[in-house]
Structures are given as structure tokens and as C-alpha cells.
Chains A and B, each alone.
Chain A
Amino acid sequence: MSYFPGMRAIRCLLATLTLGSAACAAAVDDRTYLEPAEFIAAAFPGATPQVRVLWVTPEVRAEVVRILGHEPAQLRQKYWTDGQKTAWILDEIGKEDPITAGFVVKDGRIDQARVLIFRESRGGEIRYPSFVAQFHGATLGEGSFLNKQIDGISGATLSVNAMVRMSRQALYFAQRAAAK
């Protein structure tokens, strides 16, 4: 029932705006910048890396909780290795949805960092090379923090923080994998 004759027109306008917003939201969801399989292939050019698993034991879990500030998403973490470097594909929530990122760790340092899939509605600027290049050479310092400062991006603080947490997790996992 309409309250007044113009209600129908207003409803049509609102419906159009809502559908338009939904279409825009759908368009920005799940942006895959690089397929995980392609990231692994690029990380080990000309070689077939071995897939291994690192179990999240209570000791590992405690440290991961300290790094992430919450429970790890899963109890078994896969990684790829050629004996010299390891590649990790990790998920972490920035604000509401998980960001998938890939890290290659060599000699305890981050060799490559890439945003693979971005599902948040804002903060996608973390995919730019100028941002991810900051992780190159980072190591795990005291208290499982990075040994270098990562400059933030205005309006993308939560995504930047998620990326930093994942990089610390990758370095920690690489340490554990090397100690096995």
C-alpha cells in the first residue's frame, strides 16, 4: 500500500539504487589477482616443489595466537618447498572477509609477498607492488615482530595489519618447518 502517489516512484528509485549498490558490491567481491597455483609455479620456476604439512601443535598454536591475536584457522598448514625456500599461502581477515596472500621465505627472510585474493570491500591498495615490496628482506625479530617498519596506507589500515600478521605467521611457520 502506498502512503502517497509518489511512493511508487521513490520505491523504484530506491530499488534501482539498492540493486546498483549490490551489483557494485558483487563486482568488487573476491578479486583474484593471482591464482594460488600460479603463485606457487612462479615461486619455483622450472621446478616441481614438494608439498609438506606443518601441524599446528599446542606450542605452535600458542605462538600463532600471539601473532594473530586469535585462534589459527586450521590445524594443519600446507607449504611448498624445494629444499632452499618455502612458499606459504595464508588467509587472514582484515575487517570482515579473509585476504589470501602468498609468501616465499628464504634463509629466514621474506623473498616475495603477494596479495592473491582480496575479498574485503575496501583496502585493496595493499596489492600494489609499492606496498608489498616493503616486506622484501623482512625477518622475524624479537617477540615475533618484523625487524622492519611497514608503512601503512590511509583507509586500508585493517588490510595492512592483516598483511603484516600474515607475514609474521609465514616467517614463524618457516622457522618451525626448518627446525623439523
Chain B
Amino acid sequence: MSRTPLAGRLLRRWHKRFGLLAAVFFTFLAVSGVALNHGDAFGLDKTKIATPWLMAWYGLKPVVPEHAFVLEGASFCWQGDIWVLAAQRVKPGHGEPLGAVGIDDLYWVATPDEILLYNREGQPVDKIERELLPAVPIRRIGVWQGHLVANAGNAAYASSDGISWEKLSTQATVAWSRPTPLAEAQQRELAPFFAPTLPLQRIVADTHSGRIFGTYGVLVTDALAFILLLLAGSGGWLYVATRGRKTRANKAHRTDGGDAQALPPELR
């Protein structure tokens, strides 16, 4: 029969069980914690996750614009900093787009403070900012005889390259860029471009803290922290108790003449 007190045996048994259970969670917490500490190096903040069920779990839904600027054989629409031009996501500018036109091989998109120029592949060609604009803020843009026209201040200005501008006669007939409603089918086609995303860093941080599972997840993480405290306490107690008994048993062992079998199994 074991000479270990009942309380000690119970404590050892539950210490092992909780330790095993907690080891799985603590391994995850350790790995995710290290990943968060080195998030920049791992590129966690730059990695965007768009998995539909995960976004739905976060309550994020795609918001597809209802209007677009129709260009020569293409369209431009946007939502926040997601700009889609000719069925391609393009680098956005600053500010709310107020018009987009296509002239020859180039697309021009205007915001109140700048005009952005893209090629047919959606690559940024140039950005015309206030130092080269005839006036700001721009109110609308359009096309006149194959030239870009910007309406700014009280006048309209025409340019072929976005750099040199000439005041346009008020008699000129300009085809101004105006938003047109998108049909449902078009909106469905565009939906993937506007799918919500979250940085991987946010998802790892939420999983690490348990927030990804809402209030209960946080409570479970708190419970795990409490278990860690219990394990620390029971581990410390077991160490002290075992050490005391081991010392006493060793003393007795020496007195008894060195019979190894006299020691309880956990002290051998």
C-alpha cells in the first residue's frame, strides 16, 4: 500500500490530468504569442484573409456598389479604398472618385484633389496632383474631342496629357462622366472584388485572446489562465511535499541499511 497521503495522490492525479489538458492550449498560446510578437517579420499584418465562412463568422459581408462610371467598353466602381476598373482591382487614390473616362489606351479617374491615370492593364501610369491641375477642387471630368476635360472652379479645362491645360469655351459640348446604376447581374459579377478581408494578424490575435469566439471564448481563455495558476500552485506544492518526504525516506533508507525496495515507487 502506498504511503503517500490521499490528498497528495489526488493532487498528483489531477495535476497530471489538468497538465495534459492545458498543454494543448498552452502550446497554441505559445506559438500564436510568438507569431504575434514577430507579426511584422512573418508579414501577418499584410496577409489578408478573405475566407467567406470566417468573414461571415465576424459578421462581415461584401458591400457591392450600386453605381459605376461607364467608360469606353469598361466600367469603374469603388467602395472605400477598393477601386475596380475594367474588372481589375487597381491602386486607389485619395478621396472619393467623382468621375472616370477612357481615352485611347488610358483611363482617367478623378477625385476632388487629383486625377489618376491607368493603362488598360490597370497599372498606374501617373497621378496628376494639385501642382499641375488647373484648379482644385475638381467637380467633374469628361471628354471633349478626344481630350480630357476637368471642371474646376468656374471653368472647364481641356488637356491631352494631364499636364498642360487650356481653358475650354463654354460653348464646347462635353460628355461628362456620370454614375449609372449597376444591374443586379453586374453587381453579382463584381461582388468578389468587394469581398471583406481581415489581416491575419487580427485573426491570430483574436484566436490568441479567445475573442474570436466572443464572450465565451474570452471566458475560456480566462479559465485556462486560472488552470495555469492552479498548475503552478499544485506543481509547487508537489515539489515541496515530495522533496520533504524524499529527504525523510532517504534518511530512513540509510538507517534501514539501503534496501531500495523500501522506497515508495515515486521516490526511487
Given contacts A1-B215, A3-B219, contact A78 B117 (CB under 8 A): no
Say yes or no: is A130 at the interface (Cβ < 8 Å to chain B).
no
Within 8 A of B (CB), among A22-79: 35-37, 40, 51, 53, 73-78
Q: Is the CB of A53 within 8 A of B131?
A: no
Contacts of B126 in A (CB 8 A): 53, 74-78
Contacts of B219 in A (CB 8 A): 3
Contacts of A36 in B (CB 8 A): 129, 131
Say yes or no: is B74 at the interface (Cβ < 8 Å to chain A).
no
Q: Is the CB of B124 within 8 A of A74?
A: yes
Contacts of A73 in B (CB 8 A): 91, 124
State how many angstroms separate the Cβ of B152 from the closest Cβ of chain A. Answer: 15
- Interface size, chain B (Cβ < 8 Å): 17
| A159 and B91 alpha carbons, distance in the complex (Å) | 22
Contacts of B215 in A (CB 8 A): 1
Contacts of A75 in B (CB 8 A): 119, 123-126
Q: A78 is contacted by which of B91, B123, B163 (Cβ under 8 Å)?
A: B163
| A40 and B132 alpha carbons, distance in the complex (Å) | 11
Chain A residue with the shortest CB-CB distance to B121: A75
Q: B164 is contacted by which of A40, A51, A74 (Cβ under 8 Å)?
A: A51
Given contacts A1-B215, A75-B119, A76-B117, contact A51 B163 (CB under 8 A): yes
Contacts of A77 in B (CB 8 A): 126
Chain B residue with the shortest CB-CB distance to A74: B124
Q: B130 is contacted by which of A37, A53, A76 (Cβ under 8 Å)?
A: A37
Interface string of A74-99 (1 = CB under 8 A from B): 11111000000000000000000000
Q: Is the CB of B124 within 8 A of A78?
A: no
Kindly count the residue-residue contacts between A and B in the assembled complex, taking CB atoms under 8 Å apart.
32
Q: Is the CB of A40 within 8 A of B127?
A: no
| A1 and B219 alpha carbons, distance in the complex (Å) | 12
Contacts of A35 in B (CB 8 A): 131
Say yes or no: is B256 at the interface (Cβ < 8 Å to chain A).
no
State how many angstroms separate the Cβ of A160 from the closest Cβ of chain B. Answer: 18
Say yes or no: is B161 at the interface (Cβ < 8 Å to chain A).
yes
Q: Is the CB of B131 within 8 A of A74?
A: no
Q: A37 is contacted by which of B91, B124, B131 (Cβ under 8 Å)?
A: B131
Within 8 A of A (CB), among B58-79: none
Interface string of A8-31 (1 = CB under 8 A from B): 000000000000000000000000
Contacts of B163 in A (CB 8 A): 51, 53, 78
State how many angstroms separate the Cβ of A96 from the closest Cβ of chain B. Answer: 8
Chain A residue with the shortest CB-CB distance to B129: A36
| A51 and B161 alpha carbons, distance in the complex (Å) | 11
Q: Is the CB of A40 within 8 A of B131?
A: yes
Within 8 A of A (CB), among B40-67: none
Contacts of A76 in B (CB 8 A): 117, 125-126
State how many angstroms separate the Cβ of A31 from the closest Cβ of chain B. Answer: 15
| A51 and B165 alpha carbons, distance in the complex (Å) | 12
List 28 A–B pairs whose Cβ atoms lie within 8 Å, in order of A's numbering: A1-B215, A3-B219, A35-B131, A36-B129, A36-B131, A37-B130, A37-B131, A40-B131, A51-B132, A51-B163, A53-B126, A53-B161, A53-B163, A73-B124, A74-B124, A74-B125, A74-B126, A75-B119, A75-B123, A75-B124, A75-B125, A75-B126, A76-B117, A76-B125, A76-B126, A77-B126, A78-B126, A78-B132
